[in-house]
């Protein structure tokens, strides 16, 4: 006989589902401040450049379905239900927590689909979920704060990096620079003893060691347009620097992201590639994890580690 259902809350950033929702989406990100008409049109043009919509929600749904399937296969004595909650778009985190409470979920694990912890990123998702828990009187959710060194996650990234490096002649691969990227955050996190920057470096080092590639560095992308300084160097500046140094090839490995979305499909595939074309560089991006089976297994292993250990926080 199975025990009562155990919930899993997968959280992601969110995305507008139509171009008409772009303004409300970015107003939510900006905490109620609407973008200017110029900002709005630029944002809409970016979505139009990638086909009109970001695939993030559809990919997150497939990730949730895959994780639920694997959890039930690997732990058939327990009933698992996986829910998704978005930070800035429907289904919002609060909506997901409310549904969990209404469906009788009493215990659950929460995992943000971003491997590196920062109080300004993953921490804010956890705060949103906790506020919803208090509002709806449950369920009790244990949060996995980071999973940036989980072995199957490292192996999944390493697999994709090997593939990307094979786009270059065998005799040249060892000298191709690999740039590991994540979403930039305001520089003030450096004064907060925040682990975000160090965790990115730890993931990059683990992947590079797994692949056996010595030439790599970390960079940042998709910085917000605010007056305060953001983490750097920016990926565009790094590409220019490599060109100035005489390098004409590079691999971009965005280890801070797990799905194709605007920051991948526009910021890297369009913006970085446009710069590379102007410079005469050959720049290759590693393919995203999305809902691939090896990544689903990495997420499932992370969740089951919690279930087996029964710890209060990982």
Q: Which segments are annotated as binding site for Fe-coproporphyrin III?
A: 13, 30, 46-47, 54, 125
Which of these, 104, 99, 70, lies nearest to 83 by C-alpha position?
Answer: 99
DSSP state of 271: I
3-state DSSP call for residue 308?
helix
Specify the DSSP element, H or E, that contains 221: strand 216-221
58: its two tokens = 């559809």
102: its two tokens = 């209404």
User: Angle at Cα 117 formed by Cα 114 and Cα 118, nearest 5°?
Assistant: 115
Which of these, 274, 272, 199, lies nearest to 231 by C-alpha position?
Answer: 199
Backbone angles phi, psi at 155, to 5 degrees: -65, -40
| Omega prior to 233 cis, within 30 of 0 | yes
3-state DSSP call for residue 115?
coil
Residue 149 near residue 305 (C-beta atoms within 8 A): no
Residue 116 near residue 122 (C-beta atoms within 8 A): yes
Helical pair 151-165 and 196-211, crossing angle rounded to 10 deg: 60
Binding-site residue numbers for Fe(2+) are 183, 263
Bridge partners of residue 8, in order along the sequence: 82, 109
DSSP state of 116: S
Binding-site residue numbers are 13, 30, 46-47, 54, 125, 183, 263
Residue 296 near residue 68 (C-beta atoms within 8 A): no
Percent helix / strand / coil, the chain, rounded to 5: 50, 20, 35
């Amino acid at each position: 006989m199975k025990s009562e259902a155990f919930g899993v809350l997968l959280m992601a950033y969110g995305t507008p589902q139509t171009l008409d929702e772009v303004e409300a989406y970015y107003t939510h990100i900006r905490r109620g401040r609407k973008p200017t008409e110029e900002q709005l049109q630029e944002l809409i043009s970016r979505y139009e450049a990638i086909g009109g919509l970001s695939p993030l929600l559809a990919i997150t749904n497939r990730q949730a379905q895959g994780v639920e399937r694997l959890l039930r296969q690997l732990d058939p004595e327990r009933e698992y239900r996986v829910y998704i909650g978005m930070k800035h778009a429907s289904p919002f985190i609060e909506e997901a927590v409310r549904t969990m409470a209404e469906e009788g979920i009493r215990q659950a694990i929460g995992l943000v689909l971003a491997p590196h912890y920062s109080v300004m990123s993953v921490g804010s998702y956890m705060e949103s979920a906790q506020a919803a828990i208090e509002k709806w009187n449950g369920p009790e959710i244990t949060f996995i704060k980071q999973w940036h060194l989980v072995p199957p996650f490292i192996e999944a990234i390493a697999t994709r990096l090997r593939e990307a490096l094979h786009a270059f002649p065998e005799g040249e691969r060892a000298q191709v620079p690999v740039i590991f990227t994540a979403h930039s955050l305001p520089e003030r996190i450096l004064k907060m003893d925040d682990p975000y920057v160090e965790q990115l470096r730890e993931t990059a080092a683990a992947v590079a060691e797994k692949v056996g590639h010595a030439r790599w560095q970390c960079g940042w992308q998709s910085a917000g347009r605010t007056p305060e300084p953001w983490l750097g160097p920016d990926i565009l500046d790094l590409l220019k620097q490599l060109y100035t140094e005489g390098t004409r090839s590079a691999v971009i490995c965005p280890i801070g992201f797990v799905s194709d979305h605007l920051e991948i499909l526009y910021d890297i595939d369009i913006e970085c590639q446009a710069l590379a074309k102007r410079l005469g560089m050959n720049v290759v991006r590693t393919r995203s994890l999305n809902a691939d089976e090896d990544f689903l297994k990495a997420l499932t292993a992370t969740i089951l580690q919690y279930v087996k250990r029964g710890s209060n926080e990982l």
